[in-house]
Amino acid sequence: MLFGYDTGVISGAILFIQKQMHLGTWEQGWIVSAVLLGAILGSLFIGPSSDKYGRRKLLLLSSVIFFVGALGSGFSQGFWSLLCFRIVLGLAVGASSSMVPTYLAELSPADKRGMVSSMFQLMVMTGILVAYITNWSFENMYTGWRWMLGFAAIPAAIMFFGALYLPESPRYLVKIGREDDARAVLMNMNRNDKDVVDKDMTQIEQQVHMKNGGLKELFGPMVRPALIAAIGLAVFQQVMGCNTVLYYAPTIFTDVGFGVNAALLAHIGIGTFNVIVTAFALSIMDKVDRKKMLIYGGLGMGISLFVMSAGMKFSGGSKAAAVICVVAMTIYIAFFSGTWGPVMWVMFGEMFPLNIRGLGNSFGSVVNWTANLIVSLTFPTLLDFFGTGSLFIGYGVLCFFGIWFVHAKVFETRGKSLEDIEQTLRDRAGSKN
């Protein structure tokens, strides 16, 4: 939820920060994107440590970093201090994004893993909705942006105390020799089904005693199909333009004729709809193939972007065109929230072998945040140069390239245990040798 809140809150806060701090387009881009730079560093250096220290300890560390970054952002006195504290905040965002999908996947039974892992995206979207409501609530306060950014310190503190009571990943527990504790966690997760737990423990013990892998294993032939799929999913999720829409939606709304208050209210409506769509996606995640969800999601996003682009190009102050833009944007983000948003994170937690799962998930997160940073930094400049209509046509075209990539390079993981997925990678590598 904190991940989503800190992602979404800047979209409203930047409208007021840029006026009070007299920021140019490039400086605005850096304030928005500073969290992304921190997220790259967090994914790169903190995330992989979960293989060594466990998922739960790193979640506790992330909550402390969240707290410091949120409070510091709210009290910032200028561009540079705000930039630095948002980078600190990004460290926690990156660490959590590289750990939580893995943690949820390792706690979940195979037949419910998609639904449980998708709760990560549901909480992200809920956090974004809370951010939109906070933005609107403080819109009339001169220092409202400080409250918008600082408010995240409260859920960060709650997260810390809540994480104290979370179970550790059973696969990590087996890895450090605590088999009895691992069995207890699995019994709780599988409703005391001893047969299922015995099977899971056998599979985990077969895989877990392999030596921790490093970059050599990550880039080796066995993991290559998973690595290619992860890199492609990470890049296409961003170049399809969704997070730029989330960050800059109020700005886009004002460009097509909405006032600031109306733009923020429209944002809340979109956020509410997205939470509903994401909740629906949870219910079908283990019933529909991951690849199908990605393909149909990309199709819906691409068409919605073309419609939104047409509405922006020919608006001319027309209320009808403005409504078309809002509806198209809502449908676009809904397709993202129900498909590419959750499915990518679910698959990150599933695709990699246990001995490099933390490293692989972190690598995918680094690529995702790097693509996010590049897209977000270039968006304001491209927006000034091309205009919203033309820019979103380009994003729409990239949606169709994403569909091709999923069809050609992504392998299906639905309904398979993590150990079965790992064995499939080993069998593929063996057959090629």
What's the pLDDT score for residue 65? 93
Give Cβ neighbours of residue 344 (< 8 Å, ≥ 6 apart).
Answer: 233, 234, 237, 368
* Domain residue extents for the chain: 2-432
The CA distance from 313 to 28, in Å, is: 24
- Report DSSP letters for 68-94, one per residue: HHHHHHHT--SHHHHHHHHHHHHHHHH
- Cα separation of 378 and 356, whole Å? 33
pLDDT average, residue stretch 254-260? 67
Per-residue confidence band for 67, with pLDDT thresholds at 50, 70 and 90: very high
Higher pLDDT, 3 or 351: 351
Calculate the average pLDDT of the chain.
Answer: 82
Cα separation values, 132 from 13, 211, 283, 341, 421, Å: 10, 45, 25, 18, 39
User: What share of the chain has pLDDT > 90, as a percent?
Assistant: 15
Convert the pLDDT of each residue in 396-419 to its tens digit. Answer: 999 999 999 999 998 888 888 777
Structure-model confidence comparison of residues 205 and 364, the more confident one: 364
For residue 163, count CB atoms less than 10 angstroms from its CB and return exposed for 0-12, middle for 13-18, buried for 19 or more: middle
pLDDT recorded at residue 175: 79
- Identify the band that residue 48 occupies on the pLDDT scale cut at 50, 70 and 90: low
| pLDDT of amino acid 208 | 67
H or E segment to which residue 176 belongs = none
Query: Which pLDDT value is given to residue 303?
Result: 95
pLDDT at 86: 92
Q: What is the pLDDT of residues 335-379, one digit of tens each?
A: 998 899 888 888 888 888 877 777 888 888 889 888 888 887 777
* Average pLDDT of the segment spanning 2-22: 78
pLDDT recorded at residue 399: 95
Mean pLDDT computed over 90-112: 79
Quick check: 138 pLDDT over 60? yes
Between CA 98 and CA 113 the distance in angstroms is 17
- What is d(CA 95, CA 44) in angstroms, rounded to the nearest whole number? 8
What digits encode the pLDDT tens for the residues 265-300? 777 887 888 888 888 888 888 888 999 999 999 999
Of the two residues 13 and 264, the one the predictor is more confident about is 13
Q: How confident is the model at residue 155 (pLDDT cuts 50, 70, 90)?
A: confident
Residues sharing a CB contact under 8 Å with residue 195, sequence separation 6 or more, in sequence order: none
| Alpha helix segments (H runs only) across 256-356 | 260-284, 290-313, 319-338, 340-351
Top-confidence residue, 215 or 131? 131
Confidence of residue 257 (pLDDT cuts 50, 70, 90): low
pTM (predicted TM-score) = 0.78
Q: Give the pLDDT mean for 24-34.
A: 79
pLDDT at 398: 94
Q: What is the CATH number of domain 2-432?
A: 1.20.1250.20
Q: Residue 121: helix, strand or coil by DSSP?
A: helix
**C-alpha closest to that of 96 among 64, 68, 70:** 64
Contact 204, 419 (CB under 8 A): yes
Are 391 and 383 in contact by the 8 Å Cβ rule? The answer is yes
pLDDT score recorded for residue 431 = 58
Please list, in sequence order, all residues whose beta carbon lies within 8 angstroms of the beta carbon of residue 162, skipping any fewer than 6 positions away.
none
Residue 57's pLDDT band, with cuts at 50, 70 and 90, is: confident
**pLDDT > 70? residue 125:** yes
Sign of CA dihedral 318, 319, 324, 326: positive
